[in-house]
A and B are shown apart, each in its own frame.
Chain A
Amino acid sequence: EPEVTQTPSHQVTQMGQEVILRCVPISNHLYFYWYRQILGQKVEFLVSFYNNEISEKSEIFDDQFSVERPDGSNFTLKIRSTKLEDSAMYFCASMGGSNQPQHFGDGTRLSIL
């Protein structure tokens, strides 16, 4: 069964550094998402992306965050200047159509030192 792939599985970064989290959504899916889960807390929506632009974003998704679909297969989340509170598990998801469910990757655990 096709799946969403995320790399790396664990990223350790110094505070203030830039980090890029990578995702390969399911082929021919049209909608792409990033969520995060701080340890012990709920999974929270960050951003959705459709037709090469952001369709929705949460309050968490401030100017430090950006997303990009640089080619036909990758979907990236960039955090420009990381803070300690950015430490979390980041999940990528993709969806084939508006009447289909979202499929999630295994996540990238981001640790900010």
Chain B
Amino acid sequence: AQSVTQPDIHITVSEGASLELRCNYSYGATPYLFWYVQSPGQGLQLLLKYFSGDTLVQGIKGFEAEFKRSQSSFNLRKPSVHWSDAAEYFCAVARSGSARQLTFGSGTQLTVLP
């Protein structure tokens, strides 16, 4: 069965600083990988996805993520964080196939200091 680990429960950065959120997955083949963001009281918004091809993927709001097969990682990055980026971030993995249930990590809460 697939699993996802987000080792950082809470990260605090200053506005304008760079950001990297870590995600490691366990899966027997190349999975489909996703990052979602959840603001308080809101649903899960898709930031970006990796299915195949270029291992560096660009998403919305200036986020990017890099798939590294050798490290089973899919870390999320942003060069300059804005106060509005404060939220909870979830990494998720799915196996290929039509039904494709998502398995989520436990999330990383991001706090942005002014």
Size band of the interface chain B makes with A: 20 to 34
Q: How many residues on chain A are close to B (CB under 8 Å)?
A: 27
Prevailing SS type, chain B contact patch: loop
Q: By the criterion CB–CB under 8 Å, are A43 and B44 in contact?
A: yes
- Interchain pairs with CB closer than 8 A, number: 57
Residue B31 interfacial (CB < 8 Å): no
Q: By the criterion CB–CB under 8 Å, are B44 and A101 in contact?
A: no
Residue A106 interfacial (CB < 8 Å): yes
Q: By the criterion CB–CB under 8 Å, are A98 and B97 in contact?
A: yes
Contact of B100 among A42, A95, A103, A104 (CB under 8 A): A95
Q: By the criterion CB–CB under 8 Å, are B106 and A98 in contact?
A: no
Q: A33 to B103, alpha carbons, bound, how many Å?
A: 13
Given contact pairs A42-B106, A104-B36, A48 touches B101 in the complex (Cβ within 8 A): yes
A residues with CB within 8 A of B:
4, 6, 31, 33, 35, 41-45, 48, 50, 55-56, 58, 91, 93, 95, 98-99, 101-107
B residues with CB within 8 A of A:
34, 36, 41-46, 49, 51, 90, 92, 97-107
